Structure 1
């Protein structure tokens, strides 16, 4: 269970802060506990989600040490390419929904390598792949930015200066 002021990753929304934990009563005197989440990259977004939610993944942010380990492993991370467009789209969307940072890195790396290959032969990346990569990068950048207390726009530079050569 999360506590008030915890920063968490909330599904495809991104980094949220738990601003309150409330109980609400229903007609049959049933009480249900809710997290009140504030999406930190948009001041207007407030989300109420049951504390026993199992549909949308919620997890604490990585520790600074786990983030450093992940960055160090980036050059050697596997790729997860599927040639069939429909199957790849389904698999990549499934990875996005889990929010697992290690798999997000694999996904980004896989699409990035395909993009480089396509550019070398004068082709463009498929729109769906590009959108999935942008979402994965946004989620990763928001999490790393929050951990490092920097702007999401600064994350790529941070990674490139900390990644082993």
Structure 2
């Protein structure tokens, strides 16, 4: 169970603060909710029923500094997640973003980045759905990295590159 004032990652909404816990009555039954405030949009409010397993699974503890460093060092040896079949690839990538496993999200970013480079070399265009997955994965992961590392999102890629001593990764 999460606590009020705790900072979490909530699905594709990104970093949120648990602003409150509240009970609402629905059909005469009391239902307890987490009240989440996205840090990028404090005017937004997300209500997550505490007993709704599907929605509470989207709530993840924010990575620690050391977990981020470990994840960054995982990048060069990570397996690529490319799937040639468009439909299977879309389903797999949707699942990765939905599940929120940061290691898989990092692998997804690396896979799509390298695929995009390959296509550029061949004079081909990046598929629109792959571009969307790439941008969504970056947004989710880089927002969390920026928050934990106390840097801007624009500084995340240079930080990663410096940490693994490469010129460019994504």
Partner of 2:23: 23
TM-score by length of 1: 0.94
Partner of 1:129: 130
Would you identify which runs of 4 or more consecutive aligned residues in structure 1 move more than 2 Å? Answer: 25-28
Partner of 2:45: 46
1:1-165 equivalences under 5 Å are 1-28=1-28, 30-56=29-55, 57-164=58-165
Residue deviations 1:116-153 (CA, integer Å, cap 9, x gap): 11000101110100000000000001111111122222
Residue deviations 1:12-68 (CA, integer Å, cap 9, x gap): 11111101111123342x211111101111222111111122223111111111111
Q: How many residues get paired?
A: 164
CA distance in 2, matches of 1:52, 1:106: 31
CA distance in 1, matches of 2:153, 2:16: 14
TM-score by length of 2: 0.92
SS of structure 2 residue aligned to 1:3: coil
Q: For structure 2, which runs of at least 5 residues remain unmatched after alignment?
A: none
Contact 1:72 1:164 in 2 (8 A): no
CA distance in 2, matches of 1:27, 1:81: 47
CA distance in 1, matches of 2:37, 2:86: 35
Deviation of 1:164 (Å): 4.5
Q: For structure 1, which runs of at least 5 residues remain unmatched after alignment?
A: none
